[in-house]
Structure 1
Amino acid sequence: MKRETWGSRSNFIFAAIGSAVGLGNAWRFAGQVYQNGGGAFLLPYIIAIFAIGIPVLMMELAIGKKYRLGAPSAFAAMNKKFEWIGWAGVIIAFIVAAYYSTLVAWVVNYIFASFTMAWGADPAGYFNNTVLQLSGSPGQLGGFSLPVLIGLLITWLVVIFAMRKGVEKMAKLVKWIVIIPVIILIIMCIQAVSMPGAADGIRYYITPDWSALGNFDVWRAAFGQVAYSMSILFALMITYGSFLEKGSDIPKDSIVIGLSDMGISLLAGFVVFSTLGYLSFQSGVPIDEMNYQGVMLAFVTYPQALSVFPGGQIVGVIFSLLFFIMLFALAIDSLFSIVQAVSTAFSDKFRLPPRKALYITCAACAALSLLFATNAGLYWLDIVDHFVNDGNLLFMGIFETIAIAWLFGINKLREFINSTTTIKIGRWWNVLLKYVCPVAFLVLAASFLYSNIRTPYAGYEQQYLFIGGWVLVIVTFVLALIIPKLTGRKKETGEALS
């Protein structure tokens, strides 16, 4: 079967930016900044973009392009013993798709709620009690939240409808989906920075606390944020690379994608922290004492600010709609890419038609996402996200860079990249992938293990962290070792490029 392609360079660029730019930029990035010393987080983040983000992105796109296969089959084509690394990435992507779709479902609810600003004067109560119907602990699953279930149904129908005709059709749709949130972000930034107190929020955002740079948790959070935000280390960009044309210029495209991802994150940070500054001005509570983090920034903090926006109800409704439509646009194309990575892997391995693999993937992910639609869904989403993004992606970074840079041979991949680019990458790329990346991932993974063994994450009981965290990490890599043994292609063959 002939491999699909993007159809044009612009289709690929917009699709890859759409994959990289998502909720991780709009709320997760700002949450990481807030939790890790304000401006102190920005320096490790920018270093991580250039030290691991763009170099690893080049590596993964090159693997996909060279072998014209999804991640597991591409790794197997390099060396049969590497196939499990690709499956580990696919399993991580599968888990992320399940809980990421739940985040999109929350956004869907808030789009409808924006018409009346249904959260009123109590955004936290609306989020916890009306939307999530939150229980008291992870052990109290209770029933399902009907609003979240409806949001999930809408989300998965959109995914299937948008992706059913293949990557080229999807990419043409994503072009518009990527442009819309950038325009909205610019409008919102202009509004946010003009509000009273915004300058204090911006100052908190860009002023570093130098003492925080000695904390490994800050560096681990920055590197994890870059991996999560740029969609590297969990099969996505290898899959996207497999649909590239022969003459694609990987270094140029990687730089455009990486800088776009960073730029949109930084822009979203100005919106969020200007808004925090305004809330601080209104309430008299210092920014560093607000205790806003994670999803609360998107679903509590911003709605709270909208409730007291200058201009009254009409202005509040307009900016509510803009904000949550922006979040939906950012999130849905990222979800497309995550699902594409999983469905392509199974299509390649088990010789399934792409559309059939897509339907099976969506059904399986939707089934797993039901856990996060229970009354304890927020707790489990928080635990799983922490262990997947702060833990599993770091372990993946170790395995992937060692396998490719040391065992396969980074020179062969660099020569392949340089054969179709006007920007030749030099030996500095070898150094980053052979030494800097593995050492950084190893040190940060050790820090992750130490801090999580020593102190229970977010104060959760150990039994829940064991089930939703440690078991998840172990199962990811055990399944990755088992799946290659299952019957698939007799020989891993794509349309490999020399």
Structure 2
Amino acid sequence: MASIGSAIGLGNIWRFPYICYANGGGAFLIPYFVALFTAGVPLMILEYSLGRRMQSSAPSAFAKVKKSTEWIGWLALFVTMFIFFYYPIVMAWCVNYVIHSIKLSWGANSQIFFFDRVLEKSAGPGILGGIRWPIVGGLFFTWVAIYLCLFKGVKAVGKVVMWTVTIPWIILVIMVIRGLTLPGAIQGLNFYLTPDFNVLLKPSVWLAAYGQVFFTLSLGMGIMIVYSSYLPKKSDISNNAYITSLANSGTSFFAGFAVFSTLGYLAQSMGVSVPEVAKSGIGLAFVTYPTAIRLLPFGAAVFGILFFIMLLTLGIDSAFSEIETFVSGFTDKWKLNKKVVLPIVCIFGFLIG
């Protein structure tokens, strides 16, 4: 369950549906599942095998295989570090948007609200803006939540992920049902699913498929090595790898119904085509989707709150798996006390953010 929580993250909601749409719609599922079964699942089985056999973090596991390969584990950990410095910032935005959703504070222009009001984006990278205290507050809340999820150890994490995996799925089902009842939903789903088999001849589509598999399964980051180190010796790692991979892929595909049914409704409401409103990343989460939420005929505030709670719980799952992996590398190598290392990492991450 913890592996599923780590794999299912923000990218499943705001990245996969757009990549699918931009790379041939339903036809993209062919290279995607080829990538999943030729690279994703085999590499996950490999990481699970290494973690369960060595019963340690990525650097220590590689060191036990051969001392000269320990650096591979450390490289994975420091790549993970740069990601978990960034993830909590996005979650801080989500915390703010949960509050903004109560009154739909973004109004008619969600783009201006996000960049000028929430972020107070400066005129250029060389110009430093002021401290955004609401974001600092959201960031503090996020890091405290991450710390509380981890400080009692792996058993507590197991209990936490039961909620942080289940809650987003329940909300996602609600969002899909609501999206499919909106006018224009079919138009949006047609853009998402209509296959263009000509794209299968393009190398860029296959690269996008393999890239998405690596990105969303948390491969090469040491996370699966750490989580599998807690597995019983007799656990079926192949079965676990398939369950994790297929749960992740199913969530990505299912999320597309929520995203594109809503985009179809937004396009019809604004009198434009779906490609004109289709975006990925933060543009989808904090600009396009809030615009669509504001236009809902009823329950807009409720769906806004649910949407950003879903993003927040997905992000926390991914973030604490990355931090657990990073901390485990140091505690395994130098036999440090996790209760000392964890708060140091959390405080440092908060200050960097």
* Band of TM-score, shorter chain: over 0.9
Whether 2:264 is the aligned partner of 1:277: answer yes
Match of 1:147 in 2: 134
Q: Deviations over 1:237-267 (max 9, x none)?
A: 0111111111111011111111110111111
Instruction: Give SS of 2:182's match.
Output: coil
Match of 1:367 in 2: 351
Sort the Cα spacing of 1:295 and 1:214 in 2 relative to 1 into closer, same or farther, 3 A: farther
Whether 2:301 is the aligned partner of 1:317: answer yes
C-alpha contact 2:327 2:342 (8 A) present in aligned 1: yes
Match of 2:320 in 1: 336
TM-superposed deviation, 1:358: 1.5
Whether 2:111 is the aligned partner of 1:127: answer no
C-alpha contact 1:32 1:294 (8 A) present in aligned 2: no
C-alpha contact 1:192 1:271 (8 A) present in aligned 2: yes
Sort the Cα spacing of 1:208 and 1:144 in 2 relative to 1 into closer, same or farther, 3 A: farther
Match of 2:288 in 1: 301
Q: Deviations over 1:3-55 (max 9, x none)?
A: xxxxxxxxxxx211111111111112223334444444333222222221111
Query: 1:193-342 to 2 correspondence within 5 Å?
Result: 193-290=180-277, 292-311=279-298, 315-342=299-326
TM-superposed deviation, 1:148: 2.0
C-alpha contact 1:95 1:365 (8 A) present in aligned 2: no
C-alpha contact 2:14 2:284 (8 A) present in aligned 1: yes
C-alpha contact 1:19 1:231 (8 A) present in aligned 2: yes
C-alpha contact 1:42 1:206 (8 A) present in aligned 2: no
How many Å separate the matches in 2 of 1:358 and 1:59? 28
Match of 2:48 in 1: 61
TM-score by length of 1: 0.68
C-alpha contact 1:28 1:295 (8 A) present in aligned 2: no
Query: 1:88-127 to 2 correspondence within 5 Å?
Result: 88-127=75-114
TM-score by length of 2: 0.95
Runs of 5+ consecutive residues of structure 1 not aligned to the other structure: 1-13, 371-498
Match of 2:125 in 1: 138
Amino acid at match of 2:230: F
Sort the Cα spacing of 1:259 and 1:287 in 2 relative to 1 into closer, same or farther, 3 A: same
Amino acid at match of 2:317: D
Amino acid at match of 2:297: P
Amino acid at match of 1:117: L
Match of 2:329 in 1: 345
2:20 aligned to which of 25, 30, 33: 33
2:3 aligned to which of 1, 16, 19: 16
**CA RMSD of superposed structures (Å):** 1.6
**Higher RCO, 1 or 2 (CA under 8 Å, sep at least 6)?**
2
Amino acid at match of 2:159: K
Task: State the structure with more CA Rg.
Answer: 1
TM-superposed deviation, 1:191: 0.9
TM-superposed deviation, 1:62: 0.9
C-alpha contact 1:76 1:82 (8 A) present in aligned 2: yes
Match of 2:149 in 1: 162
TM-superposed deviation, 1:87: 0.9
Runs of 5+ consecutive residues of structure 2 not aligned to the other structure: none
How many Å separate the matches in 1 of 2:133 and 2:195? 43
Instruction: Give SS of 1:115's match.
Output: helix
